Amino acid sequence: MIVDGDFGPDDMMALLYLIQLPELHIAAVTVTGTGLAHCPEGAENAAAVLAHLGREDTPVACGEQEPLGGENVFPEEWRQAADGLADQLGLTPSEAGAGSDAVGLIVETISSSPEPVRLLALGPLTNLARALSDAPEIVNNIERLVIMGGAVDVPGSVPPT
């Protein structure tokens, strides 16, 4: 499984839960820089959770800082609070393994997997959209895509700017 999120509190809790399931292998974690946490801070927080649970070998990478479309961004004070989540949880933020090419990590993980990969998208879909645009052939090795969907045709949880 690849977990792609913006690594606000809900994504941190999801990763803490998922990583402990013995039947689930998390092959990669990608952080969209267009969501709640900034990158690289969101990736450092995700890496801190993985390190805390003895999974330092799981690669973590950041995505782009600009969305492909739309203008609703999280307020800066929300983003700064999310940036410090590892500290707030008593974890040491980790730069270990926090690369800067989430799209490349998604494409490589799916392309090189001998089995179809599950994708769990917990935040904005920028990384996934770019991966599918850059390498549409990876769709043939995706078993399932689960999206924690957001708002459609409504303002959503972010106030208009």
pLDDT at 89: 83
Which of 51, 54, 46 minimizes the C-alpha distance to 30?
A: 46
pLDDT at 102: 95
3-class secondary-structure state, position 157: coil
The residue segments making up the domain with residue 94 are 2-147
Evaluate if residue 150 carries a pLDDT over 70.
Answer: no
Whether 66 is in a domain gets the answer: yes
Write out the H or E segment, with its range, that includes residue 49: helix 41-52
pLDDT in tens, 66-121: 877 777 778 889 889 998 888 888 887 666 556 679 999 999 999 999 999 999 99
pLDDT level of residue 160 (50, 70, 90 thresholds): low
Q: What is the pTM of this model?
A: 0.89
pLDDT at 98: 63
Write out the H or E segment, with its range, that includes residue 144: strand 142-147
Strand ranges inside 12-132, DSSP E: 28-31, 60-62, 98-99, 117-121
pLDDT at 11: 92
Whether 31 is in a domain gets the answer: yes
Evaluate if residue 157 carries a pLDDT over 70.
Answer: no
CB 32 within 8 Å of CB 124:
yes
Q: Indicate which CATH number applies to the domain containing 122.
A: 3.90.245.10
pLDDT at 123: 85
- How many structural domains compose the chain? 1
pLDDT in tens, 30-56: 999 888 898 889 999 999 999 888 898
Whether 133 is in a domain gets the answer: yes
pLDDT in tens, 116-149: 999 999 988 999 999 999 999 999 999 999 998 7
Whether 153 is in a domain gets the answer: no
Whether 37 is in a domain gets the answer: yes
